[in-house]
Amino acid sequence: MSPCLFSSISVILLSLAAVVHGEDTQHRNLSAVPFNEVKVQDEFWTPRIQTNREKSLPHNFKWCEKTGRISNFAKAGGLMPGKFQGIFFNDSDVYKVLEGASYSLADKPDAALEKTVDDVIAKIAAAQQEDGYLNCFYTIAKPGQRWTNLKDMHELYCGGHMIEAAVAHYRATGKKTFLDVAIKFADHVDRTFGPRKRHGVPGHEEIELALVKLYQATGQQRYLDLAKFFIDIRGDKAQREIWGPYHQDHIPVRKQSEIVGHAVRAMYLYSGVADVAAYSRDQELIDAMHRLWKNAVEEKMYITGGIGARHASEAFGDAYELPNDSAYCETCAAIGLALWAHRLNLMHGEAQYADVLERALYNGILSGIALGGERFFYVNPLASNGSHHRQPFFDCACCPSNVVRFVPSVPGYVYAVGESRSPLPSTEKSSKENAGRDASKTIHVNLYVAGTAKIKIGEHTVKLTQETRYPWDGKVKLSIEPDRLDVFAICLRIPSWCKDARVKVCGLAVKKLDIERGYLQLNGPWHSGDVIELDMPMEIQRIEAHPQVKADAGRVALQRGPIVYCFEAVDNGGHVRDMVLPHDPKFTAEYRKELLGGVTVIKAVDTKGREILAVPYHVWDHRQPGEMAVWVTQDGKPAAPKADDPAWQGKLYRPVEIRNPKREILNKSEIKI
């Protein structure tokens, strides 16, 4: 190991271009380190990715076969006779399962899985029409009626998922069999829709973000232009008939300020908008993203990262309409929120977006799949009377197939690379070592996941190794191995829940942590063998909701690190809905290896003197059925607190401390979401 030259490493502000939302046009872009360059070897994630590969994928392939989803392609391709089976958008589930399988192949080669994937792709290719059109329902059941009902029939939605799967397959395997199908389909769409062609948009958004992925894979500008076209004409009644708020089609995207309508559609649309805005530097779209993000996370997001409060239309409710028992919180919507947050993080280089991605990931997304990998939640309420359970599949199977593609994609969210606009400090020694080198390169660590990554920095490669027990423990060890002595910055995300992070570089404490935009930036030069140690103490926090969230009045939720907790009847004497925490509860955390795959639980005593226990929300409903609650009554907490407290400005949730018999709520520290 080479000596660590700590004197040549400086800790500085992550000073990006001043992004004052609505004013700046020089947005800093990060690029995600591809999923196939990150290898997870993690106590938390490795078992889940393995279960996804060994249980969830075979389970989903089986159900896609059983329900006719796969055989529909064979029928459309003339490989077998028969009628179309199932719902008109069933093609999309096959594509999502193939995308998940592709991520799994990148993680671990598997000849049997690869053959299954190749066989399904062959059926898809056979189903494609000569001109590139591909949709089993219209080919089999409604020939001659393609593109006649864009509002309701999901042709572009299905095609978008096909493109995403094809790009993932190409990146994972290097094969172009599926990518060629996607290109042929996209070229057909491009010949059909456009400024001087047909003006139409999909009722269910998805094609927008998929076309950007195809542009990234092929370099063909026309795909990015087509994505922008679909965004530009949405909500513009001067160009086409519009369909209203449910489809985010009531006013042009550039003028939207409130997030409305079907939650999953909104997330897919705004993910595509964020991609297009990042490439085009379109200030109106960037401003719209800021307004809509602010509205979503400050007024309409659950503490779990769930979104979409209403069962009716699977939609967002009004501001602060966040019921617990009747919360919809579709698993797909939480996944969509993570996709949107990831893109905004890449566009702005701000950790607040990765904070929300993490919140959704460890809570609202993982709750959607059982630990065994073969049962799923479509809806994720924050309270239950004991009658809500995961199911092996659904007629509308978007959630099982979506979570199965998302879990193995997690490696692609861990790191990003970019350019720092802050000048590097120099010492006499570092000035000599840095001579002739580009000191503006950065590696952002967005998620704390044990494993290794090979990261391209200019013409060179850096190997990073993370060691951590996150999310149960906040200690992270990051080992750095550049292929040569090099100058670049490592930017550590300091999560919004963390009050007192501590950092060492090669054993020497960094005394002052200047954290800007949620990141701590450490600059090299870096030597092979250099080590960064990050310690983020995980305090147990009681969280309160904004006073206008009527469902949570007088209640608190528990959070430790990124994990949101819930109380289940099986751990608490058979009932939890009448539970009351004392005004100054004493919490203890305990890791239980044999419980629910290994979890940290929280213990306390309620106002009746009984010992109570909370488990992570994402693992509820694995044992004896019974009541569940995330939000529980807090003794002395006012049921109708003042909503005009300026400390609530810009916040939906914050930690709370109750200090005296009057139960005064203090605001010593806050989660900024």
What pLDDT score was predicted for residue 419?
75
* Catalytic residue status for 398: yes
Using CA atoms, how far residue 385 sits from 42, 63, 576, 578, 621, in Å, is: 34, 29, 10, 12, 11
Report if residue 265 sits inside a domain. Answer: no
Whether the per-residue pLDDT at 20 is higher than 70: the answer is no
pLDDT of residue 420: 58
Residue 306 forms part of a structural domain: no
Does residue 319 fall inside a structural domain? no
Q: Under 8 Å CB-to-CB from 55, ≥6 apart: which residues?
A: 372, 373, 374
Supply the DSSP symbol for 368.
Answer: G
Cα gap 598→622, rounded to integer Å: 13
Place of tokens 């191995």: 481
Q: What are the residues facing 654 on neighbouring strands?
A: 544
Query: Does residue 270 lie in a domain region?
Result: no
* Phi, psi for 155 (deg, rounded to 5): -60, -45
Last residue in a domain, options 520, 535, 550: 535
End of a domain among 233, 267, 282? 233
Strand-pairing partners, residue 198, are: 193
DSSP-derived letter for residue 130 is T
Domain membership of residue 54 as a residue range: 34-233
Residue where one domain finishes, among candidates 475, 504, 535: 535
In a domain, residue 598? The reply is yes
Tell me whether strands 475-482 and 489-493 are parallel, antiparallel or unpaired. unpaired
Model pLDDT for residues 533-565, shown as the tens digit of each residue = 999 999 999 999 999 999 999 999 999 999 999
CA distances from 205 to 151, 156, 193, 232, 273 (A): 10, 8, 15, 13, 11
Give the Cβ contact number of residue 356 at 10 Å.
Answer: 24
What tens digit of pLDDT does each residue of 262-310 get?
Answer: 999 999 999 999 999 999 999 999 999 999 999 999 999 999 999 999 9
Domain co-membership, 424 together with 492: yes
- The pLDDT tens digits for 627-642 are 999 999 999 888 776 7
* Catalytic member of 314, 350, 544, 627: 314
Number of residues that make up the chain: 673
- The amino acid sitting at 598 is G
Q: What is the pLDDT of residues 473-513, one digit of tens each?
A: 999 999 999 998 878 999 999 999 999 999 999 999 998 89
Q: Are 563 and 447 in a shared domain?
A: no
DSSP label at residue 246: G
CA distance 269 to 274: 9
CA dist., res. 669 & res. 655, Å (int): 7
pLDDT tens digits, 584-599: 899 999 999 999 999 9
Exposure string for 291-330, b = 16+ CB within 10 A, e = fewer: bbbebbbbbbbbbbbbbbbbeeebbbbeebebbbeebbbb
Same domain? 62 vs 11: no
Query: Which residues lie closer than 8 Å to 325 by C-beta, 6 or more apart?
Result: 381, 382, 383, 384, 385
278 is a domain residue: no
Using only C-alpha atoms, the chain has a radius of gyration, in whole angstroms, of 25
- Answer yes or no: are the C-beta atoms of 476 and 467 closer than 8 Å: yes
CATH classification at residue 451: 2.60.40
Q: Which residue has the tokens 């399904």?
A: 120
Percent of the chain with pLDDT over 90: 84
Whether 544 and 524 map to the same domain: the answer is no
Q: Are residues 544 and 531 in the same domain?
A: no
- Tokens found for residue 125: 């290719």
> Six-digit token pair at 310?
């209403």
User: Is residue 158 among the annotated active site residues?
Assistant: no
Q: At 451, is the secondary structure helix, strand, or coil? A: strand
Which entry of 64, 398, 491, 566 is annotated as an active-site residue? 398
Q: Are residues 604 and 499 in the same domain?
A: no
- Would 165 be classed as within a structural domain? yes
Say whether both 421 and 471 belong to one domain. yes
Same domain (yes/no): 78, 206: yes
How many domains, the chain? 3
Are 569 and 608 within one domain? yes
Do 148 and 204 share a domain, yes or no? yes
What confidence tens digit (pLDDT) does each residue in 107-166 have?
999 999 999 999 999 999 999 999 999 999 999 999 999 999 999 999 999 999 999 999
Q: Are residues 530 and 545 in the same domain?
A: no
Q: Is a pLDDT exceeding 60 seen at residue 424?
A: no
Residues β-bridged to residue 437: none
Looking at the domain assignment, is residue 101 inside a domain?
A: yes
Within this chain, do residues 504 and 560 fall inside the same structural domain, yes or no?
no
DSSP string, 505-568: ETTEE-S----BTTEEEEE--B-TTEEEEEE----EEEEEE-TT-GGGTTEEEEEETTEEEEEE
pLDDT in tens, 457-477: 888 899 999 999 999 999 999
Average pLDDT, whole number, for the chain?
90
pTM above 0.75, yes or no: yes
Compute how many other C-beta atoms are within 10 angstroms of the C-beta atom of residue 63: 20
